Structure 1
Amino acid sequence: MRPRIRLATWPRLAVVLTDTPHPSCPDCNGEGGHNRDYGDYDTGEYAGTEWDPCPCWNENRRWPLLPLPRLPRRRRPHVDPWGTGYSNEPPF
């Protein structure tokens, strides 16, 4: 295991300890997996990309270290960004 400290935003804002791919893995070269393009069965045209994770890494392995509080948003009164009305001045 090669731990790394990261910031997670879902399901709650927290500092988490995560696993990282093995940097000298011969299968993925330290990227953690491979992208695989696939096409439609009937036409054979491109339909999307799938991610195949490498067995040297578990992307779901993480441990929350410190939950962070949600800061309330400041409420400001509505401010018109263009002023109080229309202007006859050109914008340049």
Structure 2
Amino acid sequence: MLRLRIQVTCWPRYALVLTDTPDPACTTCEGGGGIKHDYGDHNGEYAGTDWEPCTCWNEQRRWLLLPLPHRPRWLRRGFHSWGPSGYSDEPPF
């Protein structure tokens, strides 16, 4: 059974996609979509966490709903309405 949701993706271009979600009743991952495994280095210190995806969902399963237009160039430049630093230096502070 598919549990679908709408997401915005920006790779390879901006679009709305329909994606599958993990099964909230899964007894293996308890709805998280995967299992975390902590591991240590040769001294026994924490070195990181591996994530093993669960079989209750496929994170690669997605369908394109609507391609979205690119943002205008003036929005991509980081235009700030409050000034060059992003904050006003006029009173009241």
Normalising to structure 1: TM-score of the pair?
0.74
Give the aligned partner of residue 9 of structure 1: 10
Aligned in 2, Cα 1:71/1:36: closer, same or farther, shift over 3 Å?
Answer: same
Q: Report how far residue 73 of structure 1 moved.
A: 2.4
Percent identity among equivalent residues?
61
Letter of the aligned partner of 1:50 in structure 2?
D
> What does the per-residue CA deviation read over 1:32-68, in whole Å, with 9 as the maximum and x for residues that have no partner?
112211111x212111111111100111111111110
**Residues 66-85 of structure 1 aligned to structure 2 (within 5 Å):** 66-74=66-74, 81=85
Q: Structure 1 residues 46, 72: CA separation in 2 closer, same or farther (over 3 Å shift)?
A: same
Q: Output aligned runs, 1:19-38, within 5 Å.
A: 19-38=20-39
* Higher helix proportion (structure 1 or 2): 2
Structure 1: gaps of 5 or more residues: 82-91
Q: How many residues align?
A: 79
Q: Which has the larger radius of gyration?
A: 1
Q: Distance in 2 between matches of 1:21 and 1:67?
A: 25
Per-residue Cα deviation, 1:5-51 (whole angstroms, up to 9, x for no partner): 111122211000000011111111111112211111x2121111111
Identify which range, 53-62 or 66-75, moves more after superposition: 66-75
**Using the alignment, how far apart are the partners of 1:59 and 1:48 within structure 2?**
22
TM-score, scaled relative to structure 2: 0.73
CA distance in 2, matches of 1:56, 1:30: 9
